[in-house]
Each structure stands twice: as C-alpha cells, then as structure tokens.
Structure 1
C-alpha cells in the first residue's frame, strides 16, 4: 500500500500557520508523509526564534522564494505581497515537479484559503487541491455567499451598522452589521476614499471562494456540533466540507496537548509559577492574540476598568500591540502597575495553552480570534469577548448568544469605556450570569473533546480524509 504524501502551503500569518502545522502533525501521526512549504521570510523568522519546527520529527520543512525581502523585521505591504505571487507560483511549481519525480511523490496540496494563487500551480502539475479554512464554517459561508450581500445592496454599506441586520447569508443567524466581517462590507465612505476598494474586494472574494465546489476537500478547523447549519448549507451547495477541529486536539495523544512554538516571541514561563500562588478560578487572563493592535485609549480604559474591578489578572501586552506607541511606559495609566502589583502580572507573551489549563484561571478576556476561542472552549474557560477585526465579531455573537459560553464587553458609540470593562469582569467572575456561563462552557468543553474521540464527528471526518488520500496514493502507484 502506497503512503500518501501531503504538501502543505499555509498563508503566512500566525493564525493561519498554527492550524496548518497542527493538521500536518495529525496527518503525519496517521502515517502520511508531510511536507510544509513556507516563504524565505517565514523560514528566517523561524530560524531567528529557534523554532522547534526547524527540527520537527514529523514534518519536512521546505522554503520557496517570493522575491521579497526575506528579513523578518521588514513587513511587506499588501502591494508587495501581490507582486510576489508570480515568484511563489514559479517556485512552488518547480518544487512540486522535483517532488513528483522523487520516490514518494505528492498525493495532494493543502493550501490556505487565502493562498488561491496555488490553484494555477496544482492544475499545471495535475495534483488535487485541498483547502484548510482556519476559521469557523459560518465565516467561510460569508465569503461563499458574498454575492447575496451585493444583491441586497449591502456592498458598499450605507446607513447605521448598529441598526442594520444581515439576514441574507445561509447558515448564519441574523447578525448586526456592526458584528459582521467588516473586510467583506466596505462602507460608502471607504469607497469614496478608495474607488477601487470594492473592485479589489470582489476580485479577492471570487479568487478565494469561487472555486469551492471544485476543491477535492474543504477542511475546516471547526466542530460540526457548533457549526452545523453552515456546514449543511455548504454541503447542499456542492462543497465537500469536512469540519476536523480542533486540530490541536487531533494530534494529541491520551489527552496531552503538545505543539511546536511557531511565534517568534519568547514565552514568559514565570507567569505559570505566579499562577501557582493564586486561588482556583480567581484570575482573569487577558490576551488579544498575535496580530491585533489596540488604540492607546482602549488600553487605558481596559486598565482603569480592570483596576476598578479589583480582580486578579494575568495580562499579555505584546510588543507592537498598541497603535502608534513604541514605548511600553506610555501605554498604561501612570502608577497602574504599582497599584495592582499585589494581584496582577503583565507579560509580553505567555504559553497560552498552559495558562488556560491552569486551575487559577477563571476567565479569558479575548479578541475572539478562532484559535484562541477553540483553546478556551477545550479547557472550559469562559470568555470575555472584545473583538477587534475580521471574523471576531461573528465569533463574539456565537460565543455570547448561541453557545452562551461568554459575555461581551459592551460598547457605547462604538467605543469601550472603563465602566463597561468593570461591569463585564464582575459579571463573568462573580455574578450569577457568570455562573451560568461557567456551567455552559463545561458542557461545550465535553462536546469539543468528544468530537475528536473515536467515532466523534471531527475524528470521523479526518479519518475519511486520510482514507481518501491513501486510496489516491494507491491509484497513482498502480
């Protein structure tokens, strides 16, 4: 029986790299050969961070050049990224042809949804293309059904976002425009400032989602039981979608979650010892992911509200996470650290999975990025939702209104004020509403873990995918 060989081509941001690596580990543990292809810039960042990915026992790492500056300190502009696509296509094609001539040729290519440039390459070398969608299925539905937004007159958007409800996306419950994926719905004012914005958006949407029915498979880092309406709708539309998440649980053995460090930031392990000295469920963990950037005013309001709540906290303030502020000293209110030193700790980066697993953690103030949301759910930690961009507003709606595993920090006039922060913290950590949320999140935790056990929905879907790949490899070897 031939061994299937999967080539992974992730989108380069942290939130997309992480689940792709986790998928690769799960496939490799099932006996498949896995090659992870990254850009020269990502490889340089991994080398600088001395990432364990460089010597991963299960994954082969290869890099291709995009013609851009490989220095990880130089962030390419969007125009630069687009300009680098022809180089990526040429170099990926060369790499795949080289691999196809080797003893264990590739069986398929798995790419990120926003790596639609791989479609041309896989067609030329005659390899099936699979996508890994790293957000929930209901967010994929927004891109797939984007034409309905256009037909409904929502693109460009006119009017009040707070007072307008989006009801035209199958698989998605009615949601306020203010909670919708803003990147999919530019406003009239934004269009006037950049007349090509809508044209560019429609082009990206068509390239990213237009070929969904032609994919060999669409893998989603989500759970059917939490995301069934959108999954069923896409299947009815002819998309072969398989929810296989959470991927970090798929490659865990005997309930132990291990992962390679991908981020270039060094984790501050001292926070774990600090948590050891705290009472059970007493600490609020605050982290806004690897990419979100808050305004200084938001950080100050958060600090004042946190201080007024009086609760113990572990707060991750990532370097560069505050807009237009280079110095950490300028971010927080004067004297804040001194006044909260007895019950608070601030770090620049934390080992999030270990933090969420710690018995002292009683809540997680989060930007509602999907990776963070899944990690909170698998540990049964309730969420204080403060979304920033992309899919995070929709995730907040599901977290608070549908799964009922968290509480949103309320905005007034589009801004979060310190009183709202204080109120939300107290609700989650000490009041009756928080108790109901904590009970519910434990139930969802059970659902999440059952999905990856033998005969669980996510496990079945992943096994189905692996079986299909092995069958493909057998056919090609005949």
Structure 2
C-alpha cells in the first residue's frame, strides 16, 4: 500500500504557495499519492489566473464547498470565514470518509495551521495530523506563548505602542510594540471601542494553538540556523516543530546554478511578464522592485507618498500595484500624483502583478521594497536581493525586525507614531539601500544567508534531513496501517 497524503491549505496565496511546494516535493517519492483540497473560491481564482497547479500524475485536486461566494474577485471577511468552518469541516469529513473506504486510504492529513477545524476530522478517522506553518517559527511562538503576554499585563497595551516593549515570548528578543503583531496586542482604547475584540482573539488562539503538542509534526517553512532559539523554545514545550525550508529549494524545479525557478510560482493573479523585457534595458543592480504581496491593502495617501518618494530618489523602479489593493477600490489612475507617470517614464514602470521570482532573479534588480511577507522574504534572500521593509499587517513587522536587526539583510522605511511613512523617509531609505553603505552591508549579508539556504537543503543539510525523515515516517505509517 502506498502513502496517501491529504493536503488542506488555508486558501490565501501566502499560505497556498508553500503547500503546493510541499506537494511537488512529496509527489517525487515512489508510491506517494497527494490529494490537494481546495475550496471553491481558491480553485476559481487559480483557474481564472491561469496559474499552474502542480502538474504531476500523483497529485489530484479535490474541490469542496465552504458555503462562501466562489467568485474569485470576492474577498470574504474573517467573520464570514469563521462562520463557514462547520460547512468546510463537514464536507472535509465526508471526503475523508470516502477516501478511507477507497483502495487508497489516507495515511496522513497535512493542513495549514489556521485550518484548525481539520483536527477533529483527523481524530475521527485516527489519522495523524501534520501542520504546515508558512511563517517563521518565531511567529508560531508568538501564538503559542501569547498567554504569557496577558499574564504579564502587556495585553491590552496601556500606553503608546512606540513606548511599549514586548518581552516574554521565548526565543524572541525584546521589540517595540510598533513592530509586533498588532492583531494580537490590542490597546485599551481599541477594546473600549470593541469589547468583544479580546474574546474573539483568544478564541482563535485557543482553536489554533491549544493542541500544538498533540500534532504528529509541525513542518515550518524556515531554516533552523536563522531562528534556532525559537525552535528550541518550542521543542522544550514538547511541540514537534521542524525546519524544512525553504521548500522551493527541495523541488526538482530549482536550478541552483542560475537561481531561477523552472517551475512557475503559483499565483492567484494574472502576471504581466512584459516587465521582464523592460528590466532587460536597465543596468545591473540599478532597479528597485516594489511589491506588497497578495493581500495587503494601502491607503491613497500611502500610495501617493510612495510615488513621490520613488520619484525623488532618482532610482529606477518596477512597481507592482495589485488590483483591489487600494482602500476604497480606487484605481491606480485615481491615486497616483498628477503627472507622475510622465515624469518617471524613462526610469519607472508600474504593472498590476509581476512574475516575482523571475523579477527578483533578474540582474537589473538591486533591492526589494517589500511588505516582508515570509514567502517574499525567502525568495529575496535566495536571489541575493536586500530588502527594504514596509510591513503592512500580521507577522510582517516581526519579520522586518529580524531582517533588519537580527539577520541584517535589509533596512526599514522610517515610520511615524501612526505607522505612516512620508515621501522624505521613502526617498532616504531607497537611497540608503541602493547606493548607501548600509545597503552594501545588507547585500553582503544576503549572500551569506543564500549560502546557508543552499547548505540546509542539500543532502545532509538540516532542512533536508528533517524532510527526508518525515517522508520515511510516512512510509512507516502506511505500512503500519496496511498491517493492522
């Protein structure tokens, strides 16, 4: 009997990407069957964007309904997603029941950590559940150890974020609340405005992390050497978290000699590949790539300040402004300063969505102004591109802290008390990154991290060993099930 892995991703692109990378890795093993479970909206988005799902005879896609609007242009609220959980759970249970009665019963269920409702399905059929964590281990630690912030009186925040230091998370150095996960550190004023804010937050944390010790594995798309203290802190709590990243470097589709991905990056948006031809006319390391990921939304004022800061910097730039990424559903033409595109026509290009890995590997790129999402961070580090951080939400501020203060592979755009940036701060940061001494130092550090990434994913490397051991354990699980 072969190994049948059921993959259940959280449907946002940042979570879907590493799941598909893992699917490709697992499918390369003999006697492995992979069933990828998507909700209707994620499936429709992938289809509408003409994105390449993993094309392998061992990978099958199964679409199940979650009761939400399947229109790929629709973005459900978090409350809608939470309300849909019982439907998704019931439909997944039905699917697993059918598969368990088939000639290829499920050996293991791997789901995104936030798909907490899959725990009960795995228990119902006595299937080991594995979590795939798509962020660094230090972010998992924040969720797992969050109760300590409450015990120490740090939540709710009682003063200004800029004057409050967050401590008490094992494996995490002290940092200002302005860089911490804002969704997990509400202020007293925010709670007064919404008394249910903390109960909702604690319920989601309970659902997500309360059974962490009981999971068969937690696979983390990260590198042990970059955050050993966080992995060790989780291990001391009997949380079986293992670094297996970067997952894209385990794929047969990565050519380490030229850094390029020969398999396309899964995208839920239509890519404008004409920008690659434009980059071909730029000098080496002369161009700043600007992109804020698949989910961030920015205010009109931020877009305008960014535009004017890029203009004032005097550097070439390629700027991806995703459809629907501007608050108020405004168009690019609605928000750009008057005459901006004409003034920068000889050195700037705006596209709706770029083929990011191809852009980052292009010789013309000398820096990446990023929201510091984890997939984007890993891709930039592998391509040897220093990062200029402007985090937007969730884990991105903490990621930026490690990029700037711990790994020293990038810089940050300076923000004011309200987390706003100005054209002056953008102009200054771009120049520092592209031609300043700070940028040069970050560029050298990135090269060191790139070597580390290759080392840990090569035969004998720590991430490779962890992934190989996991694959062998799946074989043993399948054999044990067959013999009972």
Q: Distance in 1 between matches of 2:313 and 2:20?
A: 39
Aligned residue among 447, 464, 468 for 2:473: 468
User: Are the counterparts in 2 of residues 135 and 220 from structure 1 also a CA contact under 8 Å?
Assistant: yes
Is 1:388 matched with 2:392? yes
1:60-107 Cα shifts (integer Å, max 9, x gaps)? 100111122222233323232222211111111111111111222111
SS in 2 for 1:446: helix
Other-structure match for 2:360: 356
1:272-298 Cα shifts (integer Å, max 9, x gaps)? 111111111010000000111111111
Other-structure match for 1:10: 9
User: Are the counterparts in 2 of residues 296 and 325 from structure 1 also a CA contact under 8 Å?
Assistant: no
Shift in Å at residue 260 of structure 1? Answer: 4.4
Q: How does 1:2-401 map to 2 (within 5 A)?
A: 2-31=1-30, 32-53=32-53, 56-253=56-253, 254-255=255-256, 257-260=261-264, 262-401=266-405
1:112-170 Cα shifts (integer Å, max 9, x gaps)? 11110111111111111100110000000000001101101122111011111111000
Shift in Å at residue 319 of structure 1? Answer: 1.1
Q: Distance in 2 between matches of 1:450 and 1:54?
A: 25
Shift in Å at residue 34 of structure 1? Answer: 0.8
1:21-80 Cα shifts (integer Å, max 9, x gaps)? 111111111232111001122222222223322855442100111122222233323232
Aligned length, in residue pairs: 477
1:199-226 Cα shifts (integer Å, max 9, x gaps)? 1111110110111100000000101111
TM-score if structure 2 supplies the norm length?
Answer: 0.96
SS in 2 for 1:304: helix
Unaligned runs of 5+ in 1: none
Shift in Å at residue 4 of structure 1? Answer: 1.3
Unaligned runs of 5+ in 2: none
Shift in Å at residue 266 of structure 1? Answer: 1.2
Cα 1:329–1:26 change in 2 (3 A) is: same
Q: Distance in 2 between matches of 1:426 and 1:62?
A: 48
Cα 1:154–1:69 change in 2 (3 A) is: same
Cα 1:348–1:183 change in 2 (3 A) is: same
1:337-362 Cα shifts (integer Å, max 9, x gaps)? 10101111111000000000001100
Aligned residue among 412, 415, 418 for 1:411: 415
Moved over 6 A (4+): none
Q: Distance in 2 between matches of 1:140 and 1:469?
A: 24
Q: Distance in 1 between matches of 2:355 and 2:198?
A: 39
